[in-house]
Structure 1
Amino acid sequence: MRTLRVEIEPDMETAENRYPEVLRLILEYTDQCDEEGDEDNSQYKLLEDRLHHMTGKDMSQFNLWEWWEGDGAENLAFDISLPDPQIVNAITKDELAEIVRRVHTFETPDPDDQSFKAQFYSYICFGSGYYSAFLKLNCKGYHIRLFQSHKDKDGNYSEYSMEEITDHLWNGGMIGKG
């Protein structure tokens, strides 16, 4: 795995620092609701406000109550803790190719690596969509369909290669069209 510039890589240090408190607050809210309820959503609003204050993120994009219907409390806490990707000027084609490779392949970290980054690496690439959000923000031609199978003109299903995706994003054009 190639390293990318710090402004492209997810800010795992910030995420790791925020994560324990974010997870604690989510789980405490869940326990409180199980015991006392929150009919007027006042406690939910307090939780949203606290998390927004901690992270600067708009909490309306997250379901803080029914997290078990999603990816679980741990992944929700990670999503909230991880700073959003930023617009990065002068991305190189090699950097773009590395991002595409990370999203396109199902690479997993070394099983002996117990670091915070290793714990959430697959989720960064596929679950939370950090890199997808980065591409959407920084590449005019991005669409999630680039990474999904599609039916070609002969009716067969296939996937775009990493090179095709990279070229499409680099050029901002259409792939698979005349």
Structure 2
Amino acid sequence: MELRSEIEPDFETAEKRYPEVLQLILEYTDYCDEHGDEDSIEYKKLENRLHVMTGKEMSKFNLWEWWEGDGAEHLSFDISLPDPQMVKDITKDELSEIVRRMKTFEIPDPDDSSFKGMFYNYICFGSSYFSDFLKLNFKGYDIQLFQSHKDKNGNYNEYSQEEITDRLWNHGLNNHIK
């Protein structure tokens, strides 16, 4: 199911920003390897440049030791991708599709070498985009809805797509009274 453009990640903007963001991160790493950056002057310059380019608060990203995370490519994608927005009149079907994407591992089309094709699975499982979207738009969002939990019998279970959708839907949207 396709989602409305204001819900879908803005791959077009991310693709435009991505090459320069990746280049800046890799250049900073090369600079640090050669000269160090003990006083973080170059780090602050990089943060500022990326903030001006994207409008994002850079303190949530680890520009220094990206290799301990998901790598320079995923970091660059996360920085390049515009943040999710508050969206009015989200339907239950749209919410269910978001939950499905976060819970279901889809094998990408091996022939899809597009920018979106390269990052589609990451947006569903590695990136915080949809999690941030749900947090912004639904009162009852908690990442624990997507994690294993112990039931009253002591067994570990995961909520189904329908259970998560219903819990979020029943708590209501953040942008209007339900």
TM normalised by structure 1 equals 0.95
Structure 1 counterpart SS, 2:83: coil
Letter in 2 for 1:114: S
What is the CA-CA distance between 1:112 and the residue it aligns to?
A: 1.2
What is the CA-CA distance between 1:108 and the residue it aligns to?
A: 2.5
User: Does the alignment pair 1:144 with 2:153?
Assistant: no
Letter in 2 for 1:110: D
User: Does the alignment pair 1:127 with 2:121?
Assistant: no
Separation in structure 1 between the aligned mates of residue 107 and residue 143 of structure 2, nearest angstrom: 21
What is the CA-CA distance between 1:104 and the residue it aligns to?
A: 0.9
Paired position in structure 2 for 1:54 = 53
Aligned length: 172
Separation in structure 2 between the aligned mates of residue 148 and residue 108 of structure 1, nearest angstrom: 21
Structure 1 counterpart SS, 2:96: helix
Separation in structure 2 between the aligned mates of residue 121 and residue 24 of structure 1, nearest angstrom: 21
Paired position in structure 1 for 2:22 = 23
Separation in structure 2 between the aligned mates of residue 77 and residue 4 of structure 1, nearest angstrom: 24
Paired position in structure 2 for 1:176 = none
User: Does the alignment pair 1:43 with 2:42?
Assistant: yes
Paired position in structure 1 for 2:5 = 6
Separation in structure 1 between the aligned mates of residue 62 and residue 15 of structure 2, nearest angstrom: 21
Structure 2 counterpart SS, 1:25: helix
Structure 2 counterpart SS, 1:109: coil
What is the CA-CA distance between 1:82 and the residue it aligns to?
A: 0.3
TM normalised by structure 2 equals 0.95
User: Does the alignment pair 1:156 with 2:155?
Assistant: yes
Structure 2 counterpart SS, 1:87: coil
Q: Percent identity?
A: 77
Letter in 2 for 1:158: N
Letter in 2 for 1:86: Q
Letter in 1 for 2:129: Y
Separation in structure 2 between the aligned mates of residue 157 and residue 38 of structure 1, nearest angstrom: 46
Separation in structure 2 between the aligned mates of residue 31 and residue 138 of structure 1, nearest angstrom: 40
Letter in 2 for 1:37: G
Separation in structure 1 between the aligned mates of residue 138 and residue 125 of structure 2, nearest angstrom: 18
Equivalent positions of 1:78-93 (< 5 A) are 78-93=77-92
What is the CA-CA distance between 1:107 and the residue it aligns to?
A: 1.2
Separation in structure 1 between the aligned mates of residue 130 and residue 118 of structure 2, nearest angstrom: 17
What is the CA-CA distance between 1:118 and the residue it aligns to?
A: 1.1
Q: Render the CA deviation track for 1:94-145: whole Å, top value 9, x for unaligned.
A: 1000001000111131111111111111110111121111011101001111
RMSD over equivalenced CA pairs, Å: 0.9
Quick check: 1:123–1:129 contact (8 Å CA) kept in 2?
Answer: no
Separation in structure 2 between the aligned mates of residue 115 and residue 151 of structure 1, nearest angstrom: 41
